[in-house]
Amino acid sequence: MAGITTCALKSNIDKWENLLFSFNHQESGVKSNVRDVSMLLRFIDEKKYSKITGETLLEFIAWLKDEKGNSAGAINRKISSIKSYIRHLRFLGVKGADTLPIKELPRCREPYSGPIQALEPEEVQKILRAIDTSSVIGYRDYVFYSLIYNLGLRVSEAIGISISDIDFEKEIITIHGKGGKRRVIPIVNQLITNLEKWIILRKKMLNAHMQDALFISKKGKRLAIRTAQDNFKKYVEKAGELSLSKVTPHSLRHAFATHALESESELLVLKTILGHARLETTEIYLHPSINVMRKAMNDHLANDILGAILEKKLDQVKINNRRCFINRKAA
């Protein structure tokens, strides 16, 4: 029977994890990959399977969707991690690994949720002002979230920045994006000042002299995604009522993209800044805000045409009213 034993699947995870680190994969990405495969192992233990086949993988996908309530994006990420791990097992020559049809595994489709809704500029200010910059940690967080908004970064990208990625002389910063892709973005104005000040304050952090990471934690390690998410949640709560029901650090990236397009930035330029592989991904931000739609409607030629017609009708109403008054007086 085709497939791979549960024992073989479990026994090679550490080798795979070490291999990913040796190829300079980001720690957060490696940990995420391992968690995804561990979820498959949990499913296998729960179902008491001794062997994994293509059918097992399909059942796992259905389990993620129906019992675990995973989104299409989360399921696709797990599929990607499992494919990577199975390819590793094939490379090691693990028996049965080459019989698993990972290439044919289907991707889940995201249901259409409509255009992305973004925070208004004043709401972004509201959140950033909720951060107490009088402490070193507070100033770190202020610069971190400002960077995400100013450059339209993913949270993992902001965390992955090292001091050596910043060239203050040329005023550029290298971003390590998805799939190991790098892009260079200009940094300007207040952001440069904020970064320079943070690098000075950063020296007060534990193990700062031993770390190249731009943003480090209280424990002297590169800031973790979970910490960044938890801290942001506190600032959002402190900021008060906002137009979106759910606001995460990624909302700042959405806000950057939406505000850039509303300022008439070119779509192709924005695609490059955001690090999108396809232009269609950038186009989801084309939905204008209420304020932009209101301005467009106020500026439209139809306004002048309808205004002129209405003015004529009002003049006619005044004339008719006056005629009525004259007729009543004559009577």
Strand 4-5 relative to strand 182-186: parallel, antiparallel, unpaired?
A: unpaired
For residue 250, indicate whether it is catalytic. yes
Q: Which of 78, 154, 254, 259 is catalytic?
A: 154
Q: Which of 35, 68, 178, 197 is catalytic?
A: 178
For residue 328, indicate whether it is catalytic. no
| Secondary structure of residue 173 in the 3-state scheme | strand
For residue 154, indicate whether it is catalytic. yes
Q: Which of 85, 142, 145, 285 is catalytic?
A: 285
Q: Which of 140, 176, 202, 253 is catalytic?
A: 253
CA distance 118 to 285: 9
Helix 189-201 vs helix 136-151: angle between axes, to the nearest 10 degrees?
A: 150
Dig out the tokens for 108 from the structure.
């889940």
| Sign of the alpha-carbon dihedral angle for 156, 159, 162, 163 | positive
CA distance 50 to 35: 20
For residue 25, indicate whether it is catalytic. no
For residue 178, indicate whether it is catalytic. yes
In 284-323, which positions are buried (b, 16+ CB within 10 angstroms) versus exposed (e)?
ebeeebeeeeeeeeeeeeeeeeeeeeeeeeeeeeeeeeee
Which residues are known to be catalytic?
154, 178, 250, 253, 276, 285
